[in-house]
Amino acid sequence: MVVTAAMGLGIALKIAFKGDWFEFAGFVTGIVGVYLVSIENIWNWPVGLTNVSIYAWVFFASKLYADMSLQFFFFALGVYGWYHWLRGGLGATELKISRIPEIWWVYIVCIWASGAAVYIPIIRYLGGAAPVIDSILTVGSILAQLLLNAKKIENWILWIVVDVVYIYLFIDRNLKSTAVLYFIMLLLAISGLITWIKTYRLENQQTLKLS
């Protein structure tokens, strides 16, 4: 049902905005992939790997070089995340949803700022479009993906922030179908946050009862 809806909407957007087939394929795999993440389905990983491979080309063609490089990070993190979700880490059979300590937010902000400061001059040198915003969003996305790989609830908070700004960036770069994709991904991120919080609370209640 989700695949059918994503393909139908993708075709409509391709016709309306005169986009190419690469952006269409990225749109469909993006919707399906994020939906599968929100319901903790392991098949989100192969779909996601397909998605980032497609968007590496789309962003290269649009001169969004920071976002293009981000897709290579996503591919590597996707392979690791797929393995980590299956193995659960430390010999566990399934990785459980958890939260980060509050002090981690300080580290996240510092790493985000430092990473963007490194990226910005590189993207400017390469002649990329929107080097500042592109670099900031790229580093933020890497941090969000790392938290997602570890099944930390806070990954959704970072995704919500970057998705909002990405919508503006893609409209500005005339990637309108991708802007719609990120709007839908924003809604799915909000849904994912709510769903994961409920699951986390339920699992912790059951743990307390068993103890």
Distance, in Å, from the CA atom of 100 to the CA atom of 153, rounded to the nearest integer, reads 8
Query: Containing domain of residue 14, as a range?
Result: 2-210
SS3 2: helix
Distance, in Å, from the CA atom of 147 to the CA atom of 136, rounded to the nearest integer, reads 17
- Using pLDDT thresholds of 50, 70 and 90, give the confidence band for residue 206: low
160-194, pLDDT tens digit by residue? Answer: 999 999 999 889 888 888 898 889 889 989 998 99
Distance, in Å, from the CA atom of 69 to the CA atom of 56, rounded to the nearest integer, reads 7
Distance, in Å, from the CA atom of 115 to the CA atom of 138, rounded to the nearest integer, reads 9
**In this predicted structure, what is the pLDDT of residue 178?**
83
**In this predicted structure, what is the pLDDT of residue 83?**
83
How much is the average pLDDT of 108-124?
A: 94
Percent of the chain with pLDDT over 70: 94
Q: Which two tokens stand for residue 31?
A: 């919707």
Distance, in Å, from the CA atom of 83 to the CA atom of 70, rounded to the nearest integer, reads 20
DSSP 91-106: T-SSPPPB---TTHHH
Greater model confidence, 25 or 103: 103
How many domains is the chain partitioned into structurally?
1
CB atoms within 10 A of CB 108: 19
31-64, pLDDT tens digit by residue? Answer: 888 788 778 788 888 999 999 999 899 888 888 8
Distance, in Å, from the CA atom of 94 to the CA atom of 190, rounded to the nearest integer, reads 24
- Using pLDDT thresholds of 50, 70 and 90, give the confidence band for residue 109: very high
Unique residue bearing structure tokens 């795999």? 29
* Torsional sign, CA 146, 98, 194, 199: positive
Q: Is the pTM for the entire model greater than 0.85?
A: no
Under a CB-based contact definition with an 8 Å cutoff, are residues 181 and 211 in contact? Answer: no
